[in-house]
Amino acid sequence: MKMIALALLAMAEAVALRGAGAGSPIQHMLVQMPLLVLAGVQLVWDLRERREWAVPLLLTALTVFLFWMLPRNVDWALTPAGEAAKYLGLPLLLGLPLRLSWPWLDPILRGFLKANALSMLGVLGFLYTHAPVRICNSYLVSAQQDLGFSFLYLAAALACLWAFPLLFGQLRSMPVGTAGCTKCGA
């Protein structure tokens, strides 16, 4: 029940940002769209997914993700038909399949997908900051450049977040009231 409430909250936040998304590509692509995906991820609470469905569900999620990364489709998302497709497609065809397929993916494939996401964010950041013309016709060139820098900052933040457990290991919580080294007794 808690997951459905979180899904509804994420969807309500995305709807509340409807007007702001039309004015700012950062709020549209980096706040509203991820909230819609999060709503779809939270919809899956206790479904018994099957391992053989992991690849088709992942391919569905990746296809929808790539569709919404195209600047032309970002412009289309500001029209009534595109907005309806965004509000239905991102939660149901990206968030839900991604959540159902992720537990069954091999760690190497997960790492590949994360590395691909980082490189895609980097390329989009470079494209939006260095394009001599407007890529998204609904936004100004200055807003487009701000979005490009935001993509680059997001790529750097995600790289740090995903590399931290690889470099320093998983964080373990210590019981309350214990301090010092557990191996040496200090």
Structural domain boundaries of the chain? 2-166
How many other C-beta atoms lie within 10 A of the C-beta of residue 6?
Answer: 16
| pLDDT tens by residue, 121-157 | 999 999 999 988 888 888 888 899 999 999 999 999 9
Q: How far apart are CA 24 and CA 17, in angstroms?
A: 10
Q: Read off the tokens for 61.
A: 């999620």
**Contacts of range 177-180, beta carbons closer than 8 Å, 24 or more positions apart:** none
| pLDDT tens by residue, 95-111 | 999 999 998 899 999 99
What is the pLDDT tens value at each position of the chain, 186 positions in all?
677 787 778 878 777 777 766 778 888 899 899 999 999 998 876 566 677 888 899 999 999 999 998 889 989 998 999 999 999 999 999 999 999 999 889 999 999 999 999 999 999 999 999 988 888 888 888 899 999 999 999 999 999 999 998 888 877 665 555 555 555 454
Residue position matching structure tokens 């091999």: 106
The 8-class DSSP code of residue 183 comes to T
Angle subtended by helix axes 80-89 and 2-16, to nearest 10: 160
